[in-house]
Amino acid sequence: MEKPWTQGSKELLNHAAEHLENKSDFDRRIAFISIDNAVEIIIKSYLSAPKRGKASKKRPSRKELKETENSFPGLLDLLEQYDSDKLTGISLEDIEWYHRLRNELYHSGNGITVELSKVETYFEIASTLFESLFEEKLVLSKQIVYATHVGLFLEKWTQFEHKFRPKLPERERGDTAYDWKRGYLDKKGTSARIAYDEVSFFRNNLVHGLFKPSETEITEMLKKIDYLDSVI
C-alpha cells in the first residue's frame, strides 16, 4: 500500500522525468529544480511521518522539525543525526552540493544552464534517497531512461550498493560507512578493496563535477562494478 506521505515527492519526480524527455535548456532547468524540491519533501516527509511507519525508534522532536522547516542544511543535519545509517549509495554532501547548484539556477534567471549529466545524477540521487528512507521501490508513471553514460554509471552503482548493503556485518561504533564497506571487501581480497576504492573515488569526483570522464573511462568503471558484484 502506498504511503500517503510519499505522494508529493513522487509527483515532483514524475514532473522532472517528463521534462527530462525534452532536450531544451529550459526543460533541464525545470527538471533540476523539481528534483531538488522532491529531495526536500522526501526528507521532510520522512522525518515527520508517523513513528509507526518507520523502524527507527528515536525521532526528531516537533521543536527540532519546526526549527529546520525553512532550512535545507538543518534538514540534512537532522537526517544525519537520526538516520544516517539508512542512506545507501549516497551522501549528504552530495545532496547539499546539488542543492547549492539548484539555488544558483533558481536565482540566475535564464543566465545559467545545467548539463544533462548533472540533472540525471541528481535524479538518481533523489531516487536512491526515496528508496532508502521509505524502504519501497520508486515507481513513477513516467519512467526515465538515462541518455548519458554518467546516468547509466550512477544507476548501476546504486544497484550494486543496494545489493551490497544487506551482505555487510553489523557496523561497529566509530566506523565510517566507507571504512565499514572497505573492511568487508578487504576480507574478499585486496583486489576487491582496491576496485571499490577506485570506483568510489571516481563516483565522488563525478557527482561533484570535478571532471568529465570519457566514455572509455566510464566503461572501465562499469566493468569494475561487475567485478565487485561477482565478488560479494
Output 130-136 pairs: Cβ under 8 A, ≥24 positions apart: 130/6, 130/9, 130/10, 130/13, 130/38, 130/42, 131/162, 132/86, 132/87, 132/88, 132/89, 132/90, 133/42, 133/43, 133/46, 133/83, 133/86, 134/3, 134/6, 134/42, 134/46, 136/3, 136/6
SS (H, E, C) 56-107: CCCCCCHHHHHHCCCCHHHHHHHHHHHHHHHCCCCCHHHHHHHHHHHHHHHH
Q: How far is 112 from 105, CA to CA, in rounded Å?
A: 6
Task: Find cell 566509530 and name the residue.
Answer: 174
pLDDT value at residue 23: 77
Q: Clarify whether residues 34 and 60 are in a common domain.
A: yes
Q: How far is 19 from 36, CA to CA, in rounded Å?
A: 14
Q: Where does the pLDDT of residue 1 fall: very low under 50, low under 70, confident under 90, or very high at 90 and above?
A: low
Q: Clarify whether residues 35 and 77 are in a common domain.
A: yes
Q: From 108, 127, 146, give the residue that closes a domain.
A: 146
What's the structural domain count of the chain? 2
Q: pLDDT for 27-86, tens place per residue? A: 999 999 999 999 999 999 999 887 654 454 577 888 888 888 889 999 999 998 888 777
Q: CATH no. for residue 63? A: 1.20.120
Q: From 108, 131, 146, give the residue that closes a domain.
A: 146
Q: Clarify whether residues 131 and 208 are in a common domain.
A: no
The pTM (predicted TM-score) of the whole model is 0.77
Domain span at 131: 1-146
